[in-house]
Structure 1
């Protein structure tokens, strides 16, 4: 029969000791009894026993001082302390200088502010049965220190295995072309979602901050072919961007030309409309005159029209009524030849005048002073 079974038998080893109903021993009582025994041992008649009692007291006091000093510890600003008392969770400790009873409380500091990273890489088989080397990195932060320390045995190892499992699952359901080229962002998001679904039942007390897709490599045997394919896709994207830039450059010009042509057409329309209205107004003014004298008005309009036409031409057609032949007079050529003849005559006369002036100047410069003096004497004698 157990000591705590019902039936009135109280066989609790912590109770009824010495005939008294008491609970488990208190630490203060234990220390008091210890000091009392030490003091009794030091009060005997023998001096050796007295010295021994004093030594034991000094040792105990030194141990107590060491025990008290060893209880001080520091929690950093980015950490939170998880306190276990006799192996059972007690409380969380904020940053700062703290004290704990040694051998009774155990404190585990956990960094809850910094972002930790964990890489993972390996060769994996894709959905289209190709081997590809994938390298990723998970960034996480601890949000619940107690769960991170005690929910699983090895939290970092558990997270690493969960990351590897998520990567292999996603890569196994993706094609090699998507992993190496355009589907990298989708693969990264799928790995993130899969990793959160895996670690959720474990309640590890961590939060996934980001997943970095660092690299994806094909096997060495086909790497050149995949490099060419990637380069071709990059060229395609580059050509598309260049075409879009060219379209953005040409479109404003085309719109400007369209607007200019529309404005010119509108101006031409307005000009033709105004001219037509002017013609209508002019004919409306001529209508009463035509009604009054149609022959004279018709003849005058004809003459004015022919005058306007012939004022813009240099050709005249003359009808020889006697012979029935049409004679053509190229007035433009006649006038041109006449103008050229006048210019040549004026140039010739100008040149002759210059030559005569030059000859006269030469003769005057060559005449000597003696001849000039002789001529003066001759004129004087005659006088």
Structure 2
């Protein structure tokens, strides 16, 4: 009886030692921080490595992944990650379906990527910080989407919506002091609801066709207008050159006339005779048959054949 009880004591002691070892030795991973609670209250924060705490639940440790990027998905869930990621969108319509500013419905799926930067605030400042972050994310997205039209949310305004949500969500986290930093908000997919999707697709096709026609018109404009402007500039330059030539010729003729007039004033008889001779010198070579007569026209003077030098 005594030997049996002694054997039980050893077994009991061994169990107690195992319990002490399992409840007092904790390992904190390289991406984590350990927050130690003493009788349910915050006591200290420990770095990655092997740590000892008081056993039997006197001290407890919460491991917080402060160096890891976490994410929350809205409107869908990742079923299997890998080369071909598989998603599930069933039963998440309450998260993604929202009203836009022009009273249309849009199915918005998004991802919030965040990090825990303060373990103490994350655990103690807000109750259930992860759920609170989900609620804040939905509130921020619904607010931003509600201030924009459905076309902005579906097409050109998607990036601006994501940026606005990120800024607003970070401001809310700072106000709640939940120890979370928002890294990025990504709009995974934005679609109209299934019943009205064909109508939205038709509108998008019409908008794309409009953009195509506008681009074609601008291309034709850029092809025709510069050529027309070039031809107009060429015509203007030719006209200016012609005008300059005529003005220069007229100026030269006027200057020649003035100089000739000055010489005529000085010696009228000599200048008149010289002008007569110069004029005859220009005119006579252009006349085919030439006949010389006297002043009264009575006699023809056959002095020489003036056409002979031209023929020779």
2:276 maps to which residue?
A: 299
Question: Are the structure 2 counterparts of residues 294 and 159 from structure 1 closer, same or farther at C-alpha, using a change threshold of 3 Å?
Answer: same
Deviations 1:352-372 (A, max 9, x none): xxxxxxxxxxxxxxxxxxxxx
2:121 maps to which residue?
A: 147
Residue 206 of structure 1 and its aligned partner are, at CA, apart by 0.8
Distance 1:161 1:197 in 2: 14
1:225 maps to which residue?
A: 199
Local SS of the residue matching 1:152: coil
Residue 207 of structure 1 and its aligned partner are, at CA, apart by 1.7
Distance 1:202 1:99 in 2: 32
Could you tell me whether the CA contact under 8 Å between 2:173 and 2:179 is conserved in 1?
A: no
Distance 2:11 2:24 in 1: 20
Deviations 1:210-245 (A, max 9, x none): 222233322334322211211222333444455556
Q: Which moved more, 1:206-215 or 1:163-172?
A: 163-172
Residue 253 of structure 1 and its aligned partner are, at CA, apart by 6.2
Residue 49 of structure 1 and its aligned partner are, at CA, apart by 7.4
Local SS of the residue matching 2:176: coil
Question: Gaps spanning 5+ residues in structure 1: where?
Answer: 1-47, 311-315, 320-383
Distance 2:195 2:131 in 1: 33
**In structure 1, which of residues 179, 185, 191 is the aligned counterpart of residue 153 of structure 2?**
179
Residue 107 of structure 1 and its aligned partner are, at CA, apart by 2.3
| Aligned positions, number | 267
**In structure 2, which of residues 17, 34, 37 is the aligned counterpart of residue 81 of structure 1?**
34
2:82 maps to which residue?
A: none
2:181 maps to which residue?
A: 207
Residue 147 of structure 1 and its aligned partner are, at CA, apart by 1.8
Distance 2:234 2:2 in 1: 122
Work out which structure has the larger RCO, using CA pairs closer than 8 Å and 6 or more positions apart in sequence.
2
Deviations 1:43-88 (A, max 9, x none): xxxxx97998799589758855873586444333332222223322
Could you tell me whether the CA contact under 8 Å between 1:68 and 1:101 is conserved in 2?
A: no
Distance 1:142 1:305 in 2: 107
Local SS of the residue matching 1:89: strand
Distance 2:289 2:34 in 1: 124
Residue 176 of structure 1 and its aligned partner are, at CA, apart by 3.2
Could you tell me whether the CA contact under 8 Å between 1:74 and 1:98 is conserved in 2?
A: yes
Local SS of the residue matching 1:295: helix
Deviations 1:115-166 (A, max 9, x none): 2221223323444443332222222221112222333332222222222233
Distance 2:237 2:50 in 1: 83
**Structure 1-normalised TM-score?**
0.53
1:95 maps to which residue?
A: 48
Question: Are the structure 2 counterparts of residues 203 and 88 from structure 1 closer, same or farther at C-alpha, using a change threshold of 3 Å?
Answer: same
2:303 maps to which residue?
A: none
Local SS of the residue matching 2:68: coil
2:136 maps to which residue?
A: 162
Distance 2:141 2:206 in 1: 27
Question: Are the structure 2 counterparts of residues 232 and 90 from structure 1 closer, same or farther at C-alpha, using a change threshold of 3 Å?
Answer: same
**Structure 2-normalised TM-score?**
0.63
Could you tell me whether the CA contact under 8 Å between 2:173 and 2:181 is conserved in 1?
A: no
Could you tell me whether the CA contact under 8 Å between 1:84 and 1:91 is conserved in 2?
A: yes
Distance 2:62 2:284 in 1: 117
Distance 1:265 1:129 in 2: 63
Could you tell me whether the CA contact under 8 Å between 1:80 and 1:95 is conserved in 2?
A: yes
